[in-house]
Structure 1
Amino acid sequence: MFQDILDFLIKFGPWGLFIHAFADAVIFPVPAFFLQVSLSIMHPQNALWLATYGFIGCLLGTPFGYLIGKLLGKSVLYKILKKEWIDAATNMFQKNGEAAILIGSFTPVPFKVFTILSGCLNFPLWRLLAYAAIGRATKFYVVGTLFYLYGNAAEGMVKDVSLYIALIAVPLILVGMFIKRKRKRRKMEQEKLAESNPVLMEEKIREQTSDQTPSA
């Protein structure tokens, strides 16, 4: 059945990919990656345009996936996807939701898992959109660029594109998380020090008061 749907969508070219990417972010279980590759093989000169259609479709579909999670909860995921995908994504979310979205955007785990989970766990929608934009742009445009530069020869390259992106991006994301947590911890220590030292606390209150006082 899913193959019949893909065969139908491929007839519409870029707009078929747009629809597929939109549905991929909402509930359709087959990632838009497969249709993007098929269309890029047929029209490698338009590969970057195809990536753009897919990227925009995915972003527009993201709030709808979020809404499904908000209204129906995680149960809908277990009806359409593998339990191990859902459990893995949930575990990532519980550790760090932002990193989960970024990493999940270019892993084999269907992206709708992360849009629906975001709604289930009340993750801020604007953050979901921001991190989805970064991750999905990476996935769509890496594939599009390879086909644009190498034509049909890129077919063999993109099979492991998720792995290659992950090998580069995941360490960068982990380093970013480490730096962010270190800065947050340092800020908390400074606040505790200020609270334990009356002089520093008084200076802090004075600074806050002066900031709130309107200038003449």
Structure 2
Amino acid sequence: MLNLGQWFGLRRLYEWVLSWGHSRHARKMLFLLAFTEAIFFPIPPDILLLTLGLAIPRRAVCMALLTTAGSVAGGLLGYAVGVWCWPLVADFFYHYVPGFSPAGFAQLQQLFLRYDFWVVFLAGFTPLPYKIFTIGAGVFQIPLGIFLLASLISRGLRFLLIGLFIYRFGEQTRDFTLRYFNKLTFAAGLVLVAGLCVAQLWR
């Protein structure tokens, strides 16, 4: 659980990210945010995608594709960190990056061994912290092709849904996305998990 200082720190980061929407480098910052969030940054790119997309709805789908590209590229770097650098950087992530813990990684290993593609897909599509799974996929040597395919599909689906909602519904998308989008994607993820469990029982 976040303490008060951490909460205010995240709030200031959130407001700082939103301020990028008024910059002439906004699209570059969107790509950079998506890239870094896939490795260590705590603020998801959805909020900046929403801000920029609502400013120019006809470009929302293009911005969603840009966000997808940044996130998948960052995911590949996260994967590389897991493969080659994890023993050197593990303590840093455990102490300073929210969501990382030795116990959590032990549980993650068991999930990856059984459901490699679906674990990455769920992390990429739902509000789960994608960064944990990009690095974890590298640490536990998930095949790169499986990781890349799951990331492209899940991140593309998540961000394109936001882009298409903005293009179709405009300003109405803001409240829907902020209130319900994460809940709906998480619910869809739970349905998928339930389906996988049923499939395992019927084997």
TM bracket (short chain): 0.7 to 0.9
Residue in 2 aligned with 1:19?
32
- Asked whether 1:165 is paired with 2:185, we answer yes
Q: Which structure is larger by alpha-carbon Rg, 1 or 2?
A: 1
Alignment CA distance shift 1:177-1:15 (3 Å):
farther
* C-alpha contact 1:9 1:20 (8 A) present in aligned 2: no
Which residue of the other structure, out of 96, 99, 118, is the alignment partner of 1:80? 96
Alignment CA distance shift 1:87-1:157 (3 Å):
farther
- How many Å apart are 1:117 and its aligned residue? 0.9
Calculate the aligned-residue CA RMSD, in Å: 2.7
* Aligned ranges 1:82-161 → 2 under 5 Å: 82-83=98-99, 91-95=107-111, 96-159=115-178, 160-161=180-181
Residue in 1 aligned with 2:9?
none
* C-alpha contact 2:94 2:100 (8 A) present in aligned 1: no
- How many Å apart are 1:39 and its aligned residue? 1.2
Match for 2:65: what amino acid? T
- How many Å apart are 1:9 and its aligned residue? 6.6
* C-alpha contact 2:53 2:60 (8 A) present in aligned 1: yes
Alignment CA distance shift 1:142-1:62 (3 Å):
same
How far apart, CA to CA, are the structure 2 residues paired with 1:45 and 1:33?
Answer: 17
How far apart, CA to CA, are the structure 2 residues paired with 1:27 and 1:111?
Answer: 9
Alignment deviations for residues 64-99 of structure 1 (CA, whole Å, 9 cap, x no partner): 111112233243432333247885576355223322
How far apart, CA to CA, are the structure 1 residues paired with 2:126 and 2:93?
Answer: 17
Match for 1:39: what amino acid? L
- How many Å apart are 1:182 and its aligned residue? 7.2
Which structure 1 segments of 5+ residues have no match?
186-216
- Asked whether 1:46 is paired with 2:65, we answer no
Structure with larger RCO (C-alpha < 8 A, sep 6+): 2
How far apart, CA to CA, are the structure 1 residues paired with 2:139 and 2:63?
Answer: 31
Which structure 2 segments of 5+ residues have no match?
1-11
Identity level (%): 22
Normalising by structure 1, what TM-score?
0.72
Alignment deviations for residues 128-172 of structure 1 (CA, whole Å, 9 cap, x no partner): 111111111111011111111110111011122122123234424
* C-alpha contact 1:10 1:16 (8 A) present in aligned 2: no
Larger deviation, residues 87-96 vs 126-135: 87-96
Alignment CA distance shift 1:5-1:157 (3 Å):
closer
Alignment CA distance shift 1:9-1:129 (3 Å):
farther
How far apart, CA to CA, are the structure 1 residues paired with 2:36 and 2:20?
Answer: 14
Match for 2:84: what amino acid? L
Residue in 2 aligned with 1:4?
16
Alignment CA distance shift 1:167-1:60 (3 Å):
same
Alignment CA distance shift 1:22-1:82 (3 Å):
closer
